[in-house]
Amino acid sequence: MGNFTKLIYNELTKMYIRKSTWVMYILLGVIILGIGIIANMYGELEESYEQDTWREVLQKENGQLTTEMEQEEFLQGINTSLIETNNYYLENDIQPVGYGAWQFVMENEILLSLVSLLTIIVAAGIVANEFRWGTIKLILIRPITRTKILASKYIAVLFFSLFTLLFVLLFSWIIGAIFFGVESMNPSIVLEKNTGLEYVSVFGEIISGYGYQLVTLVMMATFAFMISTVFRNSALAIGTAIFLMMVGNQIVFFFIERSWAKYILFANTDLNQYTNGNTPLIEGMTMGFSVTVLIVYYAVFLLLSWVFFTKRDVAGY
Amino acid sequence: MSETAMELMDVKKRIGKKEIIKGLSFTINKGEIFGLIGPNGAGKTTTIRMMVGLMQLSNGDVKILGKSIKTNYKEAIREVGAIVENPEMYPFMTGAQNLAHYARMIPGISKKRVQEVVRIVGLEKAMKEKVGKYSLGMRQRLGIAQALLHKPSILILDEPTNGLDPAGIREIRMYIRRLATEQNVAVIISSHLLSEIELMCDRIGIIKNGELVALQQVNEKADQNNLNQIQMEVTPVERAIELLKAHHGIHAVQVEESLSFQSEKENIPSLVQTFVQNDVSVFQVEVTKSTLEDKFFDLIGENTIG
């Protein structure tokens, strides 16, 4: 192992040797299992469609949905779109796949905000805890530059988020496979997009859905990392990062009339606003603009962390 | 013998407008045990922090085997093993895991070396226990083990005997002495326990208000000066003081129930004789070496010691 690899290994060891990290994973696992159980009990999901009968099954479903709609006013919206989806299959003569592990994974996209949350907690502690434990003094008196130590810590945080993300994907898939079975290795389904209904690959949806959310994850983790390094206080870092993550959109809407609103970080974290025919939050914003703004924020976060970590004295308490 | 291991050259530290270290210059030789003492807030820890690069120098330079801590940090710090303030370790990891962690940070530390260091500090049995369960003494030993991993030329220990029992203190003291004589390691020790420093060190520097107020060889004083501090428990005390003045010209003071004065050790029998002949009862005679402590108090003032 090279010198730098060993540093990253050290950081990951310190992370995964602690029980609190495993509690996070257990929590994630329980939540995924819970979603699986609930979906299994209450979802009226057709598990599979037979080659020769799927047309009748869909038509029967449509009939049920229409009667439901007449009885319950509030079901109108959702049932209409379900009927439209079914009609799309019928009109285009596509045999639908039943609900399976891949779709379960796709729907668990929301869990990525939990991954963000856990990554923030880890990022917030990785520098501040060393100061709290006093171990920072023993780390910094090694023949290693402070820049390298900081970089190893940051990369370890990214590894943590990657591992956690993989855990969510894998565990969701396993739970999905147990409860709903695996329909095919690369299923496609009809989804409602801005441009209308579209027949898309579930796999592609998973990648783009999780991918777009990764932007927020990385930005907020880097933000927490910065606060942790500058103020050497993990609680403050967790608090501000989670608070901003939750109210980020409200902040943007509060200032939306101002000319500088488009420079707010949270106006740019959702890159999905430029795809699938969506309209950008503020007129005139483009993908290129948002990516530039994100890079600038990212660079500033890292630069501040670096300056404070390498230049400041490690004094007593 | 007098090869320089570390050199401080007009080291100053300013925080804001306040100058907390006001120009320290001294050298520490290879194979020497150097004690740094001073009251709390005198700048001991700040000085140590600057020696190991945790704090930046406002002025001057620290050279370790000729390498500057400012311009050649990596090379310079490679020669240093240290505990700064308390021996803080990761409480959720075992002793072995803690040492492995630090071993990974410096190239070329073998597993054998780790075991060797563990044996040196006598922690073999506790290696698989979590550090959170360690006593302060055990943490201190682990701290020393960590500092020794890479065979440093200079060992800096902040309050190394803090929390150790008398047997442990003796062991560590002997080990430090062996390191200095056998492997020619320069050891820098800070402490507020003066007797401790005196027993362990070859030379001491006394720091007060960020300045070096004295630098002296520990043994040379005893050679030059044969006066001992003598305490005698006698009754009646007033009569004894008069007798000492009249017969021996010694000026004694009363400390609680006893007398305190300075004299040569050879005089004691005749002093006792005087007391007995004059009906003064002698209960106890105590001789203390004329010590560093007195010098320390002279320089610093008794009230400021922490």
Q: Residues B162, B185: one domain?
A: yes
Q: Residues B193, B230: one domain?
A: no
Q: Decide if A283 is inside a domain.
A: yes
CA atoms within 13 A on the CB side of A89: 22
Q: Decide if B87 is inside a domain.
A: yes
Residues A165-203 as b or e (16 or more Cβ within 10 Å = b): bebbbebbbbbbbebbeebeeebbbbeeeeeebeeeebe
Q: Decide if A160 is inside a domain.
A: yes
Please tell me if residue A142 touches chain B, with a CB cutoff of 8 Å.
yes
Q: Residues B246, B210: one domain?
A: no
Q: Residues A255-307: pLDDT tens digits?
A: 888 888 889 998 888 888 887 667 788 878 888 999 999 999 999 999 999 99
Q: Residues B210, B257: one domain?
A: no
Minimal Cα–Cα distance from B208 to chain A, Å?
18
Instruction: Please count the structural domains in chain A.
Output: 1
pLDDT score at A117: 92
Nearest to A145 among B56, B74, B93 (CB): B74
For residue A145, give the chain B residue with the closest CA.
B74
Nearest to A141 among B54, B75, B85 (CB): B54
Tell me which amino acid residue A164 is: T
Q: Which domain holds residue B283?
A: 226-289
Q: Decide if A116 is inside a domain.
A: yes
If you ran DSSP here, which 8-state letter would residue A72 be given?
-
pLDDT score at B175: 85
Q: Residues B131, B233: one domain?
A: no
> For residue A317, which of A226, A232, A225 has the smallest C-alpha distance?
A232
Q: Residues A25-47: pLDDT tens digits?
A: 999 999 999 998 988 887 665 55
Minimal Cα–Cα distance from A8 to chain B, Å?
10
Q: With an 8 Å Cβ cutoff, are B54 and A142 in contact? A: no
With a threshold of 0.90, does the pTM exceed it?
no
Q: Decide if A296 is inside a domain.
A: yes
Q: Decide if B305 is inside a domain.
A: no
Nearest to A13 among B83, B86, B101 (CB): B101
Q: With an 8 Å Cβ cutoff, are B77 and A3 in contact? A: no
Q: Decide if B174 is inside a domain.
A: yes
For residue B92, give the chain A residue with the closest CA.
A18
Q: Decide if A61 is inside a domain.
A: no
We report the CATH number of the domain holding residue B84 as 3.40.50.300
Q: Residues B6-45: pLDDT tens digits?
A: 999 999 999 888 888 998 999 999 999 999 988 877 888 8
pLDDT score at B301: 60
pLDDT score at B52: 92
Whether the per-residue pLDDT at A111 is higher than 90: the answer is: no
Query: Domain boundary residue among B222, B244, B266?
Result: B222
Q: Residues B191, B250: one domain?
A: no
Q: Decide if A124 is inside a domain.
A: yes
Q: Residues B236, B200: one domain?
A: no
DSSP string spanning A141-187?
TSSS-HHHHHHHHHHHHHHHHHHHHHHHHHHHHHHHHHHH----SS-
Please tell me if residue B146 touches chain A, with a CB cutoff of 8 Å.
yes
For residue B149, give the chain A residue with the closest CA.
A142
User: Which residues in chain B have their CB less than 8 angstroms from residue A10's CB?
Assistant: 101, 104-105
For residues B225-244, give the mean pLDDT: 82
Q: Are B194 and B165 in contact (CB under 8 A)?
A: no
For residues A158-171, give the mean pLDDT: 94
Q: Residue written as tokens 């055990």?
A: B138
Q: Residues B137, B180: one domain?
A: yes
Q: Residues B77, B157: one domain?
A: yes
Q: Residues B100-150: pLDDT tens digits?
A: 999 999 988 999 999 999 998 888 999 999 999 998 888 988 999 999 999
Q: Residues B108, B140: one domain?
A: yes
To the nearest whole percent, how much of chain A has pLDDT over 90?
44
ipTM above 0.90, yes or no: no
More confidently predicted of A186 and B22: B22
Lowest mean pLDDT among A5-19, A143-157, B237-251: B237-251
Please tell me if residue A133 touches chain B, with a CB cutoff of 8 Å.
yes
Please tell me if residue B92 touches chain A, with a CB cutoff of 8 Å.
yes
> For residue A124, which of A25, A216, A226 has the smallest C-alpha distance?
A226
For residues A191-198, give the mean pLDDT: 72
Joined together, the tokens standing for residue A244 give: 């901003």
A-B contacts at Cβ under 8 angstroms: 75
For residue A2, give the chain B residue with the closest CA.
B107
Q: With an 8 Å Cβ cutoff, are B45 and A3 in contact? A: no
Q: Residues B44, B193: one domain?
A: yes
Whether the per-residue pLDDT at B1 is higher than 80: the answer is: no
To the nearest whole percent, how much of chain B has pLDDT over 70?
91
Q: Which domain holds residue A114?
A: 3-48+97-311
